[in-house]
A and B are shown apart, each in its own frame.
Chain A
Amino acid sequence: GENVEQHPSTLSVQEGDSAVIKCTYSDSASNYFPWYKQELGKGPQLIIDIRSNVGEKKDQRIAVTLNKTAKHFSLHITETQPEDSAVYFCAASGYQFYFGTGTSLTVIP
């Protein structure tokens, strides 16, 4: 089956700086790559997603890039704010969703 690796596991940035989280996947059949934000004690919320026919997608301060050849995709958050602090999960989906192990992001005011 699919194997999704996510790095780093923890990330601390100063408010206003950028944050980048990277994921790699193994199954070339995967064609859908969502990113979720999970706040403490809550369910994950979809923040952005990308499909394999697109290389980059932006939504205000967040963006996702996909390199199908290298089988990796990344989440970019610019101008970080304290409310961005949460755990972020990537996922890769072909026949089934496979999630990364999560990145705990802390934005320091």
Chain B
Amino acid sequence: DGGITQSPKYLFRKEGQNVTLSCEQNLNHDAMYWYRQDPGQGLRLIYYSQIVNDFQKGDIAEGYSVSREKKESFPLTVTSAQKNPTAFYLCASSMWGSTDTQYFGPGTRLTVL
């Protein structure tokens, strides 16, 4: 089956720790995205990548980092600098650029203890 997978589904972190969220796609899409979703709010863009080894900051990149070493993978690290990391994180991909349809993974719920 083609699609986007995210792991883990639930993640718990102690304050001061960095954690990495996994996102993999086998759709052969060039572009990948990370969004944060908080209750009562829309999706806010953290980072996006349109090609391997290149990525750009979105609207709320502070406290996050990414890498894009392979076309299929776009991991997100939530660093200790992110002051309020508890949220639902969604990864998405699209065939090419930002005006193409984005397809979402199932999400990772991160809770800081």
Interface set of A (CB-CB < 8 Å, partner B): 1, 4, 6, 9, 31-32, 34, 36, 41-46, 49, 89, 93-102
User: Are B107's CB and A42's CB within 8 A?
Assistant: yes
Asked if B2 CB lies within 8 Å of chain A CBs, one says no
Q: Which residues of A contact B96 (CB under 8 A)?
A: none
Asked if B90 CB lies within 8 Å of chain A CBs, one says yes
User: Are B45's CB and A44's CB within 8 A?
Assistant: no
CA gap between A77 and B78 in the complex, in Å: 38
CB distance from B111 to the nearest CB of A (A): 13
Which size class do B's interface residues fall under? 20 to 34
CA gap between A100 and B106 in the complex, in Å: 19
Interface pairs (14), CB distance under 8 Å:
A1-B59, A6-B42, A32-B99, A34-B101, A44-B43, A89-B43, A93-B99, A95-B99, A96-B48, A97-B43, A97-B45, A99-B42, A101-B40, A102-B42
Q: Closest B-chain residue to A98, C-beta based?
A: B42
CB distance from A96 to the nearest CB of B (A): 5
Q: Which residues of A contact B44 (CB under 8 A)?
A: 99
User: Are B104's CB and A43's CB within 8 A?
Assistant: yes
User: Are A46's CB and B40's CB within 8 A?
Assistant: no
Can you list, as one digit per residue, whether each of B54-93 has a CB less than 8 Å from chain A (1) or not (0)? Answer: 0000110000000000000000000000000000001000
Q: Which residues of A contact B6 (CB under 8 A)?
A: 43
